[in-house]
Amino acid sequence: MAAQEIEEGRRFHIKTPCILDRDLTLELGRPVYLKLENIQPPGSFKIRGIGNLVKTACKNGATHLVSSSGGNAGISAVYAGREIGVRTTVIIPECTPPSVAPLLKKKGAAEVIVHGHQWSEAHKYAEDMVSKDPGAFLIHPYDHPAIWEGVSSIVDELKHQLPEPPSEIALAVGGGGLLSGVLLGLRKHNWQDAVRVTTLETDGSSCFFQSVQAKHLVTVEKITSIARTLGAQTPASFLSSELSNPMITALTVSDREAVDAQMIFADSHRHLVEPACGAALSYVYCKRLRDKVTTSTGPLVVIVCGGAAATLEAMSNWKRLVGLMRSAPLRCVVQSFVVVSMEGLHSPQPHHSLSRHHPHHQHQRRTSGSTPGPSQRPPDPRHSATPGRHSQPDRKHEDFKLLIDPFLTSNRAKLYRYKGVVPNDPTYPEVILRDPRTKRVRLFDRLEEMDLPVPRFKIDKNYEGSPPPVEVTVMNLNDNVDKAFFSDLVNKYGETDEVEVYRHRVTGKHLGFGRAVFLE
């Protein structure tokens, strides 16, 4: 493309609609607008900033563009390079999904190089490549003034699209290119003191949220969120002076909340977006955040940043992953302990708050004259309420604990131990654990002697006081869930003593089970 055409204001992005969502407006009691950046030609808002940077670089004589992003920034760089007629090379780390390299080549990348275990190593390789090529220019994913200037065009469009200035803008933050551009745009139109900005990140990719808390730019060591395009480890340098800005509110959401939001958005508006975009949408779709959203009555604009990785298959995978894993503590085997007095008429009370979520933990009142049900069956005949030789329990056995475990024996209470005494007496019924897998999901035709994640009772001979640790068994884990990932997941609910993901002891095949023992 001729330099004259570049000078004439060639742009690579389109002016996107800003639509009023009437359903959300009724629900939240304030006008809610959605700025649909997901319909940009490369699939995300990134083309605004990356396109402006590419144009700036080519005006200054660049003949080779080098990007270190395998995400939306890299796709936008390839798109702009192809449109302007400049060769583009993309460097991606080894952790990038295998489908990315073919996609980049299909979009027009001259070369895709895989280097390094993480983005920082790929970016360093890109810097070295640019330093050796006088005509090359490095396209940073988010940290460049030309990117922020390009992104500020979103606010330019909002000024003409809205009937009145917004009172709040909600957006997702990864590295902070979008946030930096919006803040710059607000200043251009003198809105910086009138428009609040709410930022949304997922719990596992929250470098800006952590920076706000620390009051300085923070570099996170590891990204654990499935929202990979929010996976910057350090925020943009522009934001170093914005960490104490009273007009900015930084929030985080879970992966599940982000994916739930993108699914609701897909149902409501028939658009597919990535979990990174779902983080921003969760501000209006997540019930947990409703109190924060309804504090104002002025117009709220949610920037739907998009994402080129959103396909039907990807949406299904994201939904399956967070649907089984994030909600697992509410669906798995939770060992709920109940204290029952043998001498009084007391209603059992659960010791663990987790137990009230489990539909199978039904705690029933037992009276001295009632007939015990399946979950009330006494562990030994000598503790029966009927008259006889053992009608009165020994004082040291006055209290005992029951375990209701639906995965082992549906709705049946199991004797755990007596207060202060280990139940090693052979007259007590032995608790025999079985393979918790249903026939439908069993991997073998017969039961095998294996270390399956069934409850392992930790018994001390002089037990009294607070109940033993909660043990949680999670079923239906994806095959790619390893111990490290599972540990990161369960540690969000409390400090753990033991964590294990189970594999076949001979073949090493993933069994789909995980178990965690919490310290408290």
pLDDT of 340 higher than 70:
no
pLDDT of 463 higher than 50:
no
- Predicted local confidence at residue 349, as pLDDT: 34
One DSSP character per residue, 24-63 reads: HHHHHTS-EEEEEGGGSTTSBTHHHHHHHHHHHHHHTT--
What is the mean predicted confidence (pLDDT) over 201-208? 90
What is the mean predicted confidence (pLDDT) over 113-138? 90
What is the mean predicted confidence (pLDDT) over 459-465? 46
Length in residues, the chain: 520
**Which range in 334-343, 471-480, 508-517 is most confidently predicted, on average pLDDT?**
508-517
Predicted confidence band of residue 117 (pLDDT cuts 50, 70, 90): confident
pLDDT of 387 higher than 80:
no
What is the mean predicted confidence (pLDDT) over 1-12? 58
pLDDT of 423 higher than 50:
no
What is the mean predicted confidence (pLDDT) over 487-504? 82
- Predicted local confidence at residue 157, as pLDDT: 96
Percentage above 90 pLDDT, the chain: 42
Domains and CATH numbers, the chain: 13-42+153-328 (3.40.50.1100), 46-146 (3.40.50.1100)
pLDDT of 230 higher than 90:
no
What is the mean predicted confidence (pLDDT) over 101-113? 89
- Predicted local confidence at residue 96, as pLDDT: 74
Predicted confidence band of residue 519 (pLDDT cuts 50, 70, 90): confident
The DSSP symbol for 429 reads P
- Predicted local confidence at residue 5, as pLDDT: 52
Q: Reading across the β-sheet that carries 333-334, which strands appear in turn? A: 333-334, 471-474, 510-518, 496-503
- If one compares 3 and 280, the residue with the highest pLDDT of the two is 280
What is the mean predicted confidence (pLDDT) over 109-118? 87
The predicted-structure confidence for 164-183, as pLDDT tens digits, reads as follows 999 999 999 999 999 999 99
pLDDT of 431 higher than 90:
no
The predicted-structure confidence for 347-375, as pLDDT tens digits, reads as follows 233 333 333 333 333 333 333 344 444 44
The predicted-structure confidence for 305-323, as pLDDT tens digits, reads as follows 998 888 888 888 887 777 6
DSSP three-state, residue 188: helix
Predicted confidence band of residue 473 (pLDDT cuts 50, 70, 90): confident
What is the mean predicted confidence (pLDDT) over 103-120? 87
- Classify residue 246 by burial, with Cβ atoms within 10 Å: 0-12, 13-18, 19+: exposed
What is the mean predicted confidence (pLDDT) over 174-196? 95
C-alpha–C-alpha distance, residues 195 and 203, integer Å? 25
C-alpha–C-alpha distance, residues 72 and 307, integer Å? 6
DSSP three-state, residue 108: coil
- Predicted local confidence at residue 487, as pLDDT: 86
C-alpha–C-alpha distance, residues 186 and 414, integer Å? 63
C-alpha–C-alpha distance, residues 320 and 314, integer Å? 10
Q: Which of 122-131, 346-355, 360-369, 423-432 has the lowest mean pLDDT?
A: 346-355
The residue ranges of DSSP E strands in 362-489, in sequence order, are: 399-404, 413-418, 471-474
The predicted-structure confidence for 147-160, as pLDDT tens digits, reads as follows 999 999 999 999 99
Amino acid residing at 140? H
What is the mean predicted confidence (pLDDT) over 402-406? 39
Predicted confidence band of residue 7 (pLDDT cuts 50, 70, 90): low
Q: Which pair of structure tokens corresponds to residue 350?
A: 């659960």
- Predicted local confidence at residue 425, as pLDDT: 52
